[in-house]
Each structure stands twice: as structure tokens, then as C-alpha cells.
Amino acid sequence: MSVQTGSAEDIREQNRRDDGTNHRLSETLEALATDESRERISVRDIFEAMGDRAFGALMLVFALPNIIPTPPGTSAVLGAPLVFLTAQLALGLKPWLPGLIADRSMSRLDFAALTERIAPWLAKAERLLKPRLTGLVGHPAEYVVGAICLILAVILTLPIPLGNMLPALSICLFSLAILERDGLFTILGTLMAAVSVVVVGGVVYALVKTLIFLVSSALM
């Protein structure tokens, strides 16, 4: 597998030209990680390198860390950009992030170490993807996907114990569907979204019932 190097704009142009196909996210991340001309890699760099597929790429970048247990507050920090992106997807707008988010960066060496860990797993997932059932990832289905992901992103930002993992997994499935135009993953994402809402709803219901019981006990 060849690895691209150069500026984000160069990578995007190569993506458009090379055999008429798009390079996958794992390849683009590796290209940025091996670009020794830059000291830091920002969210904006990923955004520009992915071009018209930035929605899926950035949604995956911000959702993926929430699949595993994270320190309190992490989901709120990562969830805010997801709310921005998914709202734009639902409204049929082009992807955009405010500078405060887009200019967040890390050193290239740290980015390379992170990419080295996640790229093999991402590449395995990408090998399962292919364009199929494309009606489920085109217009107007994409707007519905955006609306579902917006609801999940809002849930993800809420301080619900372990309430970020399933919504994040669902958003990741939708992101992969958007990246590779794979309607099967749209179906899987929808099923996971339904499970997420049921599970998170059950957790919230249990918390409310517990709170009511404690308050009632304290007033007796």
C-alpha cells in the first residue's frame, strides 16, 4: 500500500486523481502522520485532506474515543463537535467547524503514535465496507442519518453513567457508512441507535426512580 505525503490540499488532490478512486481514512491518516514537513496535525488538516468525505471522517474521529470508558467530562468535550457536524448533516449543509475546534491539534509524533494504534483496526473495518444499498446513504436518506446522529450526539454529551459508549458506537457505524457509501452499515447503525436509546432510557429511568426513592426516604 502506497502512502501519500505532502500538504492536506495535495493529499486531497491525489485522492481525487489516483485511478479515479478515493483513498480511505486509514490511508489518509497515515499520510498525515508521515508528513515530516509539519510539526503538528490539526482537526482542520483531517477536514481538508478528506474533502467531500469530511462528514464521515470527522464524525468517526470524535465518536471513536467514546466507545471505551473515558474520564468524566470527555464525552462532553468530544460530543460538542459531533453536535455541530450532525446538525449540518441533517440540514444538508456542507461540513464546517468553528476555529476553536478546527484548530485543535497535537504534535505529529503523538498523532503518528495514535495512528499506528488505530489505523490497523480501522483498515480491517474498511475491508468489510463497499458501496451497496447506496440509496440508504444518499439524499434524502443522509438527512435522516444526520437527524439520528444528532440525537445520539446530544445523548452522548449528557452526564449519564456509561451512556456514551453505545451512542458513540452507533455514530461510528453511520460514519463508516457515509465514508464508503455502504448502506448495510446504515442499517447496522440504525439498529444500534435503537438499542442505544432503549438502554440509555432504561439507565435514566432507573436513576430517576432511585432519586425519587432517596428523596422520599429523606422526607419521611
Helices assigned H by DSSP within the chain: 8-17, 25-33, 43-50, 54-63, 74-90, 99-102, 108-127, 141-157, 165-180, 183-219
Confidence band of 50 (pLDDT split at 50, 70, 90):
confident
Which residues, including other chains, have CB under 8 Å from residue 14's CB and lie 6 or more apart? 4, 6, 23
Residues of the chain above pLDDT 70, percent: 86
pTM for this model (two decimals): 0.78
Residue 182 lies in a domain: yes
Residue 106 lies in a domain: yes
Residue 151 lies in a domain: yes
Q: What is the pLDDT of residue 169?
A: 92
Residue 1 lies in a domain: no
| Half-sphere exposure of residue 158: CA atoms within 13 angstroms, side-chain side | 15
Which residues, including other chains, have CB under 8 Å from residue 190's CB and lie 6 or more apart? 148
Q: Which structural domain, as residue segments, surrounds residue 97?
A: 8-219
- Answer with the residue of higher pLDDT: 104 or 151: 151
User: Is the predicted pLDDT of residue 21 greater than 60, yes or no?
Assistant: no
Structurally, how many domains does the chain consist of? 1
Residue 2 lies in a domain: no
User: Is the predicted pLDDT of residue 205 greater than 70, yes or no?
Assistant: yes
Which amino acid, 40?
A: R
